[in-house]
Amino acid sequence: MTTFLAPLAGGALIGTAAALLLLANGRIAGISGIVGGLLGLSGREAGWRIAFLVGLLLGPVLFRLAAGHGPDVRLGAPLSAFWPVLVIAGLLVGYGTRLGSGCTSGHGVCGLARLSPRSFAAVATFMATAMITVFLVRHGVAR
């Protein structure tokens, strides 16, 4: 695939899924909220959440079947060296999603599309934090 077609197709699929979830269920496609909402739920409310998450997990499998290969993932060190950092990062992201009342998918995809001021503030915070983190890591300040 041409370099821009795969991300364009992925973005179109994410936008379509978010729009369909909003139109069909009146729900925002914020992954942290969908996963968090599974705790203690049953029946119809849990059903659409499970279906949405299964669809997310099947996406890479379907890509591999259609393209004949998976995405090219490169790590700068052995995966075992990343586990402590991944665990800490995951906990910080989970805390941040609760603190910010949503995640990047909820605020970035759905909130911005709805012109939510809270989502604009959240996305600006996500982006600024990401830029600062990349700068610090790439320039060896955080090592």
Q: Where are the domains of the chain?
A: 1-73, 76-143
**pLDDT for position 90:** 82
**pLDDT above 80 for 80:** no
Closest CA to 6 of 69, 74, 55, 76: 69
Tokens 């997990």 belong to which residue? 57
Please write down the HEC assignment for all residues of the chain: CCCCHHHHHHHHHHHHHHHHHHHHHCCCCCHHHHHHCCCCCCCHHHHHHHHHHHHHHHHHHHHHHHHCCCCCCCCCCCHHHHHHHHHHHHHHHHHHHHHCCCCHHHHHHHHHHCCCHHHHHHHHHHHHHHHHHHHHHHCCCCC
Between 90 and 118, residue with greater pLDDT: 118
**pLDDT for position 118:** 92
Q: Using pLDDT thresholds of 50, 70 and 90, give the confidence band for residue 87.
A: confident
pLDDT in tens, 91-140: 888 888 888 888 888 898 888 888 999 999 999 998 998 899 889 888 87
- The reported pTM is 0.69
Span 48-76, mean pLDDT?
83
pLDDT in tens, 8-41: 888 898 889 889 988 988 888 888 888 888 876 6
**pLDDT for position 95:** 86
**pLDDT for position 124:** 94
**pLDDT for position 138:** 84
**pLDDT for position 54:** 92
